[in-house]
Each structure stands twice: as C-alpha cells, then as structure tokens.
C-alpha cells in the first residue's frame, strides 16, 4: 500500500499535472477549428461546397504549421531545454488564437491557423519528454497516460464553449486559458537528464542524424507510421462527419462539433485504458497491436452503418475515439526509442508528422472521391493506414521499462 501511495505521489507531482493541463489547452485550441468550421466559415460568407473545400484547405494549412513547428520546437527542446518549448509554444498558439477571433476573410484565417499550428506543435512532445525523464521507469507509462487523458478532454470543453458562445468568443477563451497556464509553468523545474547531457560534449537536437543513420531512420519511420490510423480517424472520418452523415443517408444532420467531442471522450477513455493495460502487461507493442485491431473494427462499423438513429452515429464516434486511444502510448514509445540528446526532437516531430499526414491523406481521399463515394474513398485510405501501421509495429522494439539515461 505504501508503495502504491508513493507511486501515486510521484505521478501527481507538479510537472506532470502542469504538462497535462498544457495539453488540455493544446487540444482545445487544436480541435476548435474542426468544431467551429461551419459556423465560422458561414460568418465569413462561404456556403455550399466551399464549406468543405475551404475547410480542408484551412485544416491543411494548420497541419503544415504543425509540421514546421514540430521541427522547430523539437530541435529547441534538445538544444535549449524542455521548458523553453513549453513556454514558447503556449505563448505563440495562445496569441494566435486570440487573434483568430478577429478574422474577416479566409486569407487571415489561414495565416493565423498556420501560426497557431506552429505553436501547437510543441506542447505534447515537450510535455511527454519531460514527464518520461523525471518519472521512474516502472511508472513512466502512468505519467504520460495522465498527460494525454486529461489533455484530450480539452476537446470536450471546446465543444461546450463553442455550443454556448459565438465562435469568436471560443477562440478568445482558448487564448486566455493558454496565457493563464503560462504563469503556472514558472514553478516547473527542467529535466535532470537534460541538464546532465547539456554539460557533456554531445551533439544535441541534430535532426539530420535521424536521416543519416539507418538504424535511427527506420526506428523514426516506424514511430510515425504506427500513428497513421489515429489521424486518419480524427482528420477525415470525424472532422468531416457532417458530410459522411449525408453520404450514409442519415435522416438528421450530423453536428461535426458534437462528433469531435464524442470522439475525444472515447479517445480519453482509450488512452487511460491503453496506459493501464500496458503497465499490467509490461508491454507497449502488444497494446498498440490490440488497439490497431480495435481501430479496424471501429472504422468498419462507422463506414458500413445504415440508416440508424443519429445516436448510433455518435456512439460510433465514441468507439472510433476509444479504438485510437493509443495516442499517449505511441508518443511514449517514440520518446523511449531515442537518446536524451535527440529525444525531444523525436517526441515533438513524430506526433506532428502524424498530424501532418492529414494533408496527403485528404488529398488522396479527395482524388479517390472524384470516382467513388465518400464511404468507399475513406475505406480505401483507412485500410492503407492500417496496413502501414501493422508493418511498422512488426519490426519495432519493445521499450517498456527501458532506461532513458543514454545518448544516440
């Protein structure tokens, strides 16, 4: 009992809680556009097919920002420290989201979604890296699971704020939450592992090393590829749930914001479950494999459902979210695969490269959609992400309980 209490105290220490709250705000701001896409674009004068076309364009712009930001913050996290990223990223995306409430045209919207994307890219990777390095290896998974599980409920708050306020106010609230959290971060200490490496003659934050060393490169690709189904589900199936509802022949219109909320409720529960199961089985790989199979089932249920009640559709969104609830596990695996000198670079770029794959995935989806239904197009793209994820997992090394005090 004393050991359990001690473990709980270690998991609930300030850096873990503040990292979780940071990811909460990050997810609020990241998913807010998906929730307010239709009302905000209608307010800018768009109608009909433009709501989908410009919506895809703005999501892709935001994802390009995430890609750029992932590289920027990852390198800074290894060169300057994990805390520098946690401060800089939240300041950038909070300011961008405050400004987002004042846009009057799509061009302004696109510029600010890009800037917000750059800022949003740093939060999760730096937070998971810091938590992984300060917690004992036996309970590391609980810490990173807590960060992701608490953080993902930011999507739920975003839905309710957007539902009961104007879309502009929703952006302002997100920006205000981020700036408020910035004050709490002054109480967090830097990772001891990073401080130790900082004083050694070791090259830090060299992203080119990941591409010049075959072992590191293939490990890096595997980390990215196992996460592809997660953002296929979020970036296509859930974000465009309104259009999928029409394609499936539902009698009532689907509220995309509500679909995002239900998906993220499932995702939070899935992250909690995958983290706990991983600790119980003492394995990361087995749990990821289980959840990939769950994702396959959930995609099938979503795309093949008939004219069921709208509640069934939202229920399938919860199931989709739960099935991709290995997000925290996937980022933890990325952090555990690499040394302290490039760990932040990997843990920050990997989730953002996965998010960024929404750009080519939506392009392939749109190309297929010219000759097929939305359902068929989505099924083909989704199946491709699942196959790639399984192949990547097959050759991946188990990292549960791995010592992290090493360099590459």
Mean pLDDT calculated for residue range 388-396: 94
DSSP 405: -
- pLDDT tens, position by position, 224-258: 999 999 989 998 999 889 889 888 888 888 888 88
CATH level 3 topology of 9-183+214-394? Growth Hormone; Chain: A; (1.20.1250)
All structural domains of the chain with their residue ranges:
9-183+214-394
- Tell whether the model's pLDDT for residue 81 goes beyond 60: yes
Q: Is 84 helix (H, G, I), strand (E, B) or coil?
A: helix
Contacts of 209 (CB under 8 A, 6+ apart): 203, 216, 342, 408
pLDDT digits (tens, 9 = 90+) for 312-344: 999 999 999 999 999 888 988 998 999 888 988
Contact of 109 with 58, CB cutoff 8 Å: yes
pLDDT at 173: 94
Give the pLDDT confidence of 132-175 residue by residue, as tens digits. Answer: 888 888 888 888 888 888 887 888 888 889 888 999 999 999 99
pLDDT reading at 6 higher than 80: no
Taking Cα atoms as reference points, which of 163, 114, 129 lies closest to residue 22? 129
pLDDT of residue 130 exceeding 90, the answer is no
pLDDT digits (tens, 9 = 90+) for 358-387: 888 988 998 998 888 899 999 999 999 999
Sequence-distant (6+) residues with CB within 8 A of 124 are 23, 26, 147, 148, 151, 331, 347, 348, 351
Burial of residue 403 (CB within 10 Å: 0-12, 13-18, 19+) is exposed
Which tokens go with 313? 């559709």
Buried-state track 146-179, b at ≥16 Cβ within 10 A, e below 16: bbbbbbbbbbbbbbebbeeeebbebbbbbbebbb
The mean per-residue pLDDT over the stretch 23-28 comes to: 88
Q: Does residue 101 surpass a pLDDT of 60?
A: yes
Q: State the Cα–Cα distance between residues 400 and 189, nearest whole angstrom.
A: 25
* Per-residue confidence (pLDDT) for residue 51, from 0 to 100: 85
Q: Is 401 helix (H, G, I), strand (E, B) or coil?
A: coil
Question: What is the value of pTM for the model shown?
Answer: 0.85
Please say if the pLDDT value at position 2 is more than 50: no
Question: How remote is the C-alpha of 168 from its chain's centroid?
Answer: 23
């Amino acid at each position: 009992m004393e050991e359990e209490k001690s473990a709980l105290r270690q998991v609930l220490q300030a850096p873990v809680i503040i990292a979780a709250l940071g990811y909460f705000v990050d997810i609020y701001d990241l998913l807010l556009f998906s929730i307010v896409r239709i009302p905000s674009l209608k307010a800018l004068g768009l109608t009909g097919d433009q709501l989908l076309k410009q919506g895809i364009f703005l999501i892709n712009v935001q994802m390009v920002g995430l890609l750029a930001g992932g590289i920027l913050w990852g390198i800074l996290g290894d060169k300057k420290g994990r805390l520098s990223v946690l401060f800089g990223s939240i300041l950038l995306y909070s300011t961008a989201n405050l400004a987002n409430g004042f846009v009057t045209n799509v061009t302004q919207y696109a510029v600010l979604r890009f800037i917000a994307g750059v800022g949003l890219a740093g939060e999760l990777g730096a937070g998971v890296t810091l938590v992984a390095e300060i917690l004992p290896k036996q309970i590391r998974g609980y810490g990173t699971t807590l960060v992701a599980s608490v953080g993902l409920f930011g999507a739920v708050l975003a839905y309710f704020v957007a539902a009961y306020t104007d879309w502009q106010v929703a952006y302002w609230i997100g920006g205000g939450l981020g700036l408020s959290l910035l004050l709490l971060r002054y109480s967090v200490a830097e990772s001891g592992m990073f401080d130790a490496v900082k004083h050694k003659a070791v090259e830090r934050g060299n992203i080119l090393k990941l591409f010049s060393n075959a072992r590191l490169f293939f490990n890096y690709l595997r980390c990215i590829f196992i996460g592809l189904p997660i953002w296929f589900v979020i970036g296509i199936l859930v974000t465009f749930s309104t259009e999928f509802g029409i394609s499936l022949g539902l009698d009532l219109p689907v509220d995309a914001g509500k679909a995002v909320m239900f998906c993220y409720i499932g995702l939070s529960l899935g992250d909690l479950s995958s983290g706990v199961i991983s600790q119980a089985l003492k394995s990361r790989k087995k749990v990821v494999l289980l959840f990939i199979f769950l994702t396959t089932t959930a995609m099938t249920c979503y795309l093949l459902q008939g004219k069921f009640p709208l509640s069934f559709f939202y229920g399938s969104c919860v199931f989709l979210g739960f099935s991709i609830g290995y997000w925290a596990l996937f980022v933890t695996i990325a952090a555990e695969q690499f040394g302290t000198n490039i760990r932040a670079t990997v843990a920050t770029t990997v989730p953002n490269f996965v998010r960024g794959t929404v750009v080519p995935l939506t392009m392939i989806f749109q190309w297929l959609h010219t000759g097929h239904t939305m359902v068929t197009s989505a099924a083909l793209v989704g199946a491709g992400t699942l196959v790639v994820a399984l192949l990547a997992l097959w050759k991946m090394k188990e990292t549960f309980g791995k010592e992290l005090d090493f360099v590459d």
